[in-house]
Amino acid sequence: MAISPRLATRTFENIGAEGTRGRSPATLAPSPKPLVPLVLRVYGGHTRCQANTDNDGQGDGCDSDDDNDGTPDTGDDSPLDENESVDTDGNGTGTNADTDDDADARRSLSLAVVDAGTVVDLICDFPAAEPYRSALASATAVAAPAHLDAEVLSALGRLQRAGQLDRATERVAALAAFGARRWPLRPLLTPAWALRDRIAIREALYVALAQSLDATLITSDGRLRRAAAGIVAIGEPGG
């Protein structure tokens, strides 16, 4: 049983001695360029060499999930990329890597940094938060500096003392469960300090985090939006 010359430089599994009898490696032409990982299997008396993208021992031709990302190839827009399964706008770049998922010429949110004022509005169901709910929902991840919790908790205390907060215990629980990754403050101190002449330090920490993560800043504070413009991307209401 002869081996195709283009496969001569690869290492195969399950090839018996009979498969290479009478052939010298020197007589086999080398592959002109690197090939993807290959696996040789015997099917019904003949051999098939197949690409094996996910190295699971099953060639792509017989594998229903080539990249082993949990999405069957038939429903996977990027069947050979484990990090992508959806290409919303069909431009060939998966949604996770695409900065404009819907091809509307507006940057899509892959990562968002949210400030304390917006979180207060969100967990208290204040109307000011409504325009920003969809922007946060479209982000693949949300982040905030670690002082977010202290700022929001302080604001909740002020609202309760003023008689403007109902179901306070539920609001505190909502803060504890709020799905933003809290980032340590120490790496943000120097970049936040550099913004001191333009933005209050406690707010500059949010801008510094968005800057370091190349993230979009989500804030309902008009003054902060104006001050941070040109430093980081600002999330648009309803965007």
Which pLDDT tens digits describe the chain residue by residue (239 residues)?
A: 554 444 444 433 333 444 444 444 444 444 444 444 444 344 344 344 467 787 887 777 788 887 888 888 777 777 877 766 666 667 776 655 554 555 655 555 589 999 999 999 999 999 988 888 888 888 889 999 999 999 999 999 999 999 999 999 999 999 999 999 999 999 999 999 999 999 999 999 999 999 999 999 999 999 999 999 999 999 987 65
CA atoms within 13 Å, Cβ hemisphere of 218 = 33
Lookup: tokens for 144: 């905030």
Backbone phi, psi, residue 135, to 5°: -65, -45
Q: In angstroms, rounded to a whole number, what is the distance separating the alpha carbons of residues 95 and 85? A: 8
In this structure, the chain runs to a length of 239
Nearest residue to 15 via CA among 37, 48, 44: 48
Instruction: Tell me the one-letter amino acid at 67.
Output: D
How far apart, in whole angstroms, are the C-alpha atoms of residue 20 and residue 51?
A: 21
Q: Measure the CA–CA gap between 178 and 52, rounded to whole angstroms.
A: 41
What CA–CA distance (Å, rounded) separates 58 from 209?
43
Q: Which domains does the chain have, with CATH numbers?
A: 111-234 (3.40.50.1010)
Nearest to 223 by CA among 215, 234, 212, 239: 234
Contact 50, 38 (CB under 8 A): yes
Q: What is the pTM of this model?
A: 0.56
